[in-house]
Amino acid sequence: MAAHSLLLTLNAGSSSVKFAVYATTDGLPLLAAGQVEGLGTCTTFSVTSAGASRSDHSVQLGHGVAGHAEAVHVILRWLEQAHAGIRVAVVSHRVVHGGIDHRVPVLIDDALVADLERLVPLAPLHQPHNLAGIRAARMAFPVAPQIACFDTSFHRNHSFVADTFALPRSFYDEGVRRYGFHGLSYEFMARRLRAYDPVLAHGRVIVAHLGNGASMCAMREGRSVASTMGFSALDGLPMGTRCGQLDPGVVLYLMTEKGMDAAAIAQLLYQQAGLKGMSGLSHDVRELQSSDSPAARDALAYFAYRGRREIGGLAASLGGLDALVLTGGIGENAAAVRAAMLGGMDWMGIQIDPEANQHNATVISLPASRVTVVVFRTDEERMLAEHAAELVGL
């Protein structure tokens, strides 16, 4: 690789594209990070240089950016201007679903893209956008290696009982099984906790990735053993617009009694449910917390209640609990949500320090708490960069 070259990461979500730019020198120093958000509505492009406390480049794009491919082109135009003459040596992409076969990051080629297309029905909110980003980046940088890093990879070594459903075995064999998601975030948290406290990281740990998408992962010795998300990114915790755990009989009822087809049900469960559906107001926890609406309070209470249930279930799968790690936009910043979710859990060894929690301290548990509760910022982009550097030999 040339001495003056860049590593670009692309992380395409449901309504945004996040990116980061790293120098391809020792340690992969971060140069800048940003995002195009609000796709299809009021779109904003913003970039923050490394070391800056806030965005140093922000542009309102209005309604001119309708999709993820256009968003990637906005990023590429900025890259050409901000780093003119410096070539992009490698591009690393977050891909939500890797299916049964993809357990490690891989180089992207036409065959892989075709294979990932088959998985679109399993992650319709994310996979098409991941693929749009891949196509745009391959056209922009036809010579640079492109790397796919899968959100499902971290969970691929679960036991049979942790991955199966109680259906005929033939369904499991053809791929109807629990996959788990948010794997890049969980992998980063495993490395972060190991650097922070190797003994704790070696034990029984639950990581809660709480954001617009929310899930939890049980780890032992830094490896995933169970996840709240299953066959799709709908299962487990309620989320910003997704339902979380749902009796499948509800889907049958919607079909037979309400006359809803698959497309209408998918729209409901992925886009109109969760905190947004329950509150009738917003998917944003900050808006719900500032509202005096009873429905908003109920939505937040349900989120906290389901979180407690999932923590209890994952702790049972681990045979106990040594540490709980909170991350994601809600996990890192919403002290009131953390207090509601973790309050009254002394019975399982979780005792929260109200003052530390209110100030978003790293450790928010009391010294006497049997379970250490920490708050870490996740960094999926750094994980993407490290995987790409390892794969291409930077």
Distance, in Å, from the CA atom of 21 to the CA atom of 30, rounded to the nearest integer, reads 6
Distance, in Å, from the CA atom of 85 to the CA atom of 5, rounded to the nearest integer, reads 9
251: left (phi over 0), alpha (psi -120 to 50) or beta: alpha
Residue 36 and residue 133 in contact, taking contact as beta carbons nearer than 8 Å: no
The helix/strand/coil state of 300 is helix
The two structure tokens encoding residue 4: 């003056």
HEC profile of 331-377: HHHCHHHHHHHHCCCHHHCCCECHHHHHCCCCECECCCCCCEEEECC
352: left (phi over 0), alpha (psi -120 to 50) or beta: beta
Residue 148 and residue 393 in contact, taking contact as beta carbons nearer than 8 Å: no
Give catalytic status of residue 247 as yes or no: no
Residue among 151, 163, 322, 379 flagged as catalytic: 151
Distance, in Å, from the CA atom of 114 to the CA atom of 111, rounded to the nearest integer, reads 5
Residues catalogued as catalytic? 151
